[in-house]
Amino acid sequence: MELLPQALIDGILLGGIYITIAIGFSLVYGVMHIIDFAVGEWIMLGAFLGLYLNKWTGLDPFLLLPLVFVVFGLIGYLLQPVIHRVISGRQGNPLLMGLVFTFGLALMFRGIALTGFGFYSHSIPSTFSDKSFFYEQGTFFMTVSGIRLAGLIYALVITVALHWLLKKTNFGLGVRALAQNRDAAALMGVNGKRTSSYVYGIYVGISAMTGVLIGSILSVSAQMGPDYTIVAFFVVVLAGMGHLAGVPWAAFLLGLVQSFFLIYLDPGLTMLAVFAILFTILLVSPRGLFAKGV
């Protein structure tokens, strides 16, 4: 029981990272109805950009996040019309075509990264890395990593910002209309192609920033992408495909499960437990935790 507070705080902090991995992925699926297999590679490429910007400028990675967002947001904005052309062809299933195309992107990005950056792992130094907070009360104690706490704050800021964007702006109204019915949204004056490009740019920018965060907390390598793609799929499916509000809850659940297995049980069984939970919940509620997924 002495380790219970530590397990809880570690799970919450880990869940914060998972929120930022999955929230953009969920937004893109809700609007564009594509499953982006390249989500992990966007995270990986963003991490490497943050790594080299940190080396060149000496700035803390958290100060580099806006620049990383702009660079990758522009890349995503320019790439989205290509994806739209692939999935809107007259032949083939749009969902399947999007999945195959982004899977190809993921393989290409990973190959380029392995060729350019090698197989070695790197870390991005941050002023928060050496900071930690210790609390003790009787037999209960816990240590909070400064960099993980900063990551949780970042995740909450991203979540609140997206909520404000979608609920309080005309752009967000257009995005929600597009997610519900593209034809009706077009009749109401929503430019579907342009809005989808903005959404994909926002998603790629958030994913790249998350890569910088992960590089500061854990490590950066050219082979890191698939692990985070799996995390994104788990969280989004558990939350309900396209149900943005369910992402934080699913992310925290995944973080807590992993934390408890690492502290109390066998760490080697973590992924087995994660997918057993996912399977059980989908048997009861095929549309996710809150039965609101697509």
Is residue 228 domain-resident? yes
Q: How confident is the model at residue 88 (pLDDT cuts 50, 70, 90)?
A: confident
290 falls within a domain:
no
Q: Report helix, strand or coil for 145.
A: strand
Residue 209 within a domain: yes
Average pLDDT over the chain, rounded to whole? 85
Tell whether 289 is covered by a domain. Answer: no
Look up the pTM and report it.
0.91
Q: Select from 15, 13, 18 the least CA-distant residue to 210.
A: 18
58 located within any domain: yes
**Cβ–Cβ under 8 Å, residues 231 and 39:** no
The tokens of 189 are what?
């004056």
User: What is the total count of domains within the chain?
Assistant: 1
* Under 8 Å between Cβ of 213 and 151: yes
Whether 80 is in a domain gets the answer yes
Owner of token pair 């973590």: 270
Tell me whether residue 294 is in a domain.
Answer: no
In a domain, 293, yes or no: no
In this predicted structure, what is the pLDDT of residue 268?
72
The whole domain housing 155 covers 4-284
**pLDDT band with cut points at 50, 70 and 90 for residue 89:** low
Residue 3 · residue 136 · CB < 8 Å: no
